[in-house]
Amino acid sequence: MPELPEVETVRRGLQPVLEGARIEKVDLRRKDLRFPLPPDMARLLEGRTIRSVGRRAKYLLVEAEDAPLLICHLGMSGSFRIESGEGVLTPGVFHRERSVDRPHDHVVFGLTTYAGEAARVVFNDPRRFGFMLFADADGSHPMLASLGVEPTGNSLGGALLAELFRGRAAPLKAALLDQGAIAGLGNIYVCEALWRAGLSPRRAAGTLASASGGPTLRAERLAAAIRAVIAEAIEAGGSSLRDYTHVDGSLGYFQHRFSVYDREGEPCPKPGCSGIVNRIVQSGRSTFFCPACQR
DNA sequence: ACATAGACCTGTTGGC
DNA sequence: TGCCAACAGGTCTATG
C-alpha cells in the first residue's frame, strides 16, 4: 500500500475534484471490503456537498456537509481513480473517453464537481484490505484515536523518539511500524529511514534513549531520517509498486530512489560502504538493510 | 504490558 | 510453456 506519502499523493489528487462537489450517487458494488461498508453509506452521503479531503496517517478523511466523516483506508492494494467527461482530469497515462468498469471496482461515487461537470470517483481494491467507515458524530473513531505522531512537519524529533521507544525491547523495525507511536510509516519507508540513519533494524528500540531517558545522537539521526524520507517521497508524488497508481492513473517515481528496499544482493549505495544489501524477515515482513553500515 | 504469529484476500513473480 | 510456492504497500486479532 500506500504508505503515508502515497496516501498524501492520493489526497492531493482527489482534492480538486472532490472539494465542493455534490455527491449524486454512491454505488456500493459489494457490502464489505475488509469490514462491512456502512449499510447507510449511500443514504447519508447522497445529495451532500464535500467540504474537504483530509488525511491522518494512512487514512483519508472525507468531510461532507451534514454527513458523518467518511474514513477511507487503502489497505495494501486500494486505489482511487477519477473519471470525468473528458476522460483525463490531469496529465498522465490515463486516457479514456468514457467511464468503464474494471475488475475490483467496489465503490463508485457519482459527482457533480464544483465547476458543474459530471465525474466519477472509483475505489478499486483487488485484495480488499481497504475499508470505509463513518466516524462518530464528533469526528472521532477508535482507529484514529490510537494513532501516534505524524512524521511530517517538525513535531517528530530525537527527544520524542527517545521517549516513545524508551524501555522497549522490540527491534527498531517493529517499533517504527507501530502506528500508535509514529503514524504513517510502512515497510518501505521504515527500511529506507533506518538505512539513512545507519541503524540496524534489529537494534532494540529502547537503545535510542540515553540512561537518563533523553535523546541520543542516534535518536536525532533517526528522527531526521524519517522526516527527510517522508518529505522527499511526498515531494516525488509517492512510490509506485505493483498496483499502486496515482488517482490520475500515472505512476509515482520514488521507487527509483529506494536505497535498500527490494535490493537484496545489491551493493549498498552509501558512498564508501562495501556492504551488500541483506533481506531478513522480521515479524513476518521483509526487511532490507546493509549489515555493514547499519549498526 | 508487550511482542510475535496468524488471518484476511487476490495478483504477480520467480524457480523448476 | 506451465505450474506452484512465495511474496506483496496493512492492521486487527489471538496467543504467548
Q: Report the CATH number at residue A73.
A: 3.20.190.10
Query: Looking up cell 456502512, which residue turns up?
Result: A38
User: Between A290 and A99, where is the model more confident?
Assistant: A290
Segment A243-289, tens digit of pLDDT: 455 666 666 666 667 999 999 999 999 999 999 999 999 988 999 99
- Asked if A128 and A203 sit in the same domain, the reply is no
End-to-end CA distance of chain A: 28
Active site residues of A: 2-3, 58, 285
Q: Report chain A's mean pLDDT, rounded to a whole number.
A: 90
- Asked if A251 and A176 sit in the same domain, the reply is yes
The neighbour count for residue A228, using CB atoms within 10 Å, is 15
User: Between A192 and A238, where is the model more confident?
Assistant: A192
Among candidate residues A88, A110, A145, the one where a domain is terminated: A145
* Rg of chain A taking only CA atoms, in angstroms: 20
- Asked if A89 and A63 sit in the same domain, the reply is yes
Structure confidence at residue A236 (pLDDT): 83
**CA–C1' A132–C6 (A):** 30
Nucleotides of C under 7 A from a protein CB: 7-12
Assess if residue A295 is contained within a domain: no
pTM for this entry: 0.93
Phi-psi region of A14 (alpha: psi -120 to 50; beta: other; left: phi over 0): alpha
Q: Determine whether the distance from the CB of A169 to the nearest atom of strand B is below 7 Å.
A: yes
Report the domain count for chain A.
Answer: 2
Instruction: Tell me what the mean pLDDT of segment A161-179 comes to.
Output: 94
> Is a pLDDT exceeding 70 seen at residue A161?
yes
**What three-state secondary structure class fits A197?**
helix
Please give the sequence-ordered ranges of beta strands (E in DSSP) within A136-284, or none if there are none: 278-282
- CATH code of residue A228: 1.10.8.50
- Asked if A248 and A130 sit in the same domain, the reply is no
Q: Which residue is nearest to nucleotide B12 (CA to C1')?
A: A242
- The residues near A12 (Cβ < 8 Å, ≥ 6 apart) are none
Percentages of chain A per state (helix, strand, coil), in multiples of 5:
25, 25, 50
**CA–C1' A168–B2 (A):** 8
- Asked if A113 and A210 sit in the same domain, the reply is no
User: Is the Cβ–Cβ distance between A198 and A292 less than 8 Å?
Assistant: no
Question: Is residue A222 exposed (0-12), middle (13-18) or buried (19+ Cβ within 10 Å)?
Answer: buried
**CA–C1' A212–B10 (A):** 49
Q: Which long-range contacts (CB under 8 A, 24 or more apart) does A236-239 make?
A: A236/A5, A237/A9, A238/A2, A238/A5, A238/A6, A238/A8, A238/A9, A238/A10, A239/A3, A239/A5, A239/A6, A239/A188
Nucleotides of B under 7 A from a protein CB: 2-13
